[in-house]
Amino acid sequence: MSKAHRVAVAVLAASALLVPGAQPAQAGASRQATTGPAATDRSGYHVLTLRRAAPRDLRIGTAAAGGGHHVDQPYPDPFTYDQPYRRVLAHEFNSVSPENQMKWEFIHPERHTYNFGPADAIVKFARRHGQVVRGHTLLWHSQNPAWLQDGQFTKDELRAILKEHIVTVVGHYRGKIQQWDVANEILNENGEYRQENIFIRELGPGIVADAFRWAHQADPKAQLFLNDYGVEWPGAKVDAYEALAKQLLADRVPLRGFASQAHLSTRYGAPDQLAAVLQRFDALGLHTAITELDVRMDLPESGVPTAEQLQTQATYYKTVLDACLAVAGCNSFTIWGFTDKYSWVPVFFPSEGAATVMWDDFGRKPAYYALRNTLAAAHWGR
In the complex, the residues that contact ligand 9MR under the rule CB under 6 A are 68-69, 99-100, 142-143, 261, 292, 344
- Provide the minimum distance between the beta carbon of 344 and ligand 9MR in the complex, in angstroms, as a whole number: 4
Q: Strands 59-64 and 95-98: what pairing?
A: parallel
CB-nearer residue toward ligand 9MR: 144 or 273: 144
Could you say which of 92, 99, 185, 242 is catalytic? Answer: 185
Inter-CA distances, 66 with 71, 101, 123, 336, 365, Å: 7, 7, 14, 12, 23
Residue 196 falls in the annotated catalytic set: no
Whether 99 sits among the annotated catalytic residues: the reply is: no
Between 316 and 369, name the residue whose CB sits nearer to ligand 9MR.
316
Q: How far is CA 16 from the centre of its chain?
A: 25
For ligand 9MR, the closer CB: 342 or 369: 342
3-state secondary structure of 67: coil
Q: Three-state DSSP class for 137?
A: strand
Shortest reach from residue 137's CB to ligand 9MR, in Å? 7
Q: How far apart are CA 68 and CA 66, in angstroms?
A: 7
Instruction: Tell me how many helices (H) and strands (E) the chain has.
Output: 16, 10
Bridge partners, residue 352, by sequence = 298
In order of 21, 24, 240, 359, 363, the CA distances from 27 in angstroms are 15, 9, 46, 9, 8
CB 352 → ligand 9MR: shortest distance, Å?
A: 13
The distance of closest approach from Cβ of residue 143 to ligand 9MR in the complex, given in angstroms and rounded to an integer, is 5
Nearer to ligand 9MR, 143 or 315 (CB): 143
Q: What Rg, from alpha-carbon coordinates, does the chain have? A: 20
Q: 59 forms bridges with which residues in the sheet?
A: 332
Cβ neighbors of 225 (< 8 A, separation 6 or more) are 179, 180, 181, 182, 183, 255, 256, 257, 258, 259, 287, 289, 291
Query: Does residue 283 contact residue 253 with C-beta atoms inside 8 Å?
Result: no
Least distance (Å) between residue 119 CB and ligand 9MR: 14
CB of 229 to ligand 9MR, least distance (A): 6
User: Which are the catalytic amino acids?
Assistant: 185, 292
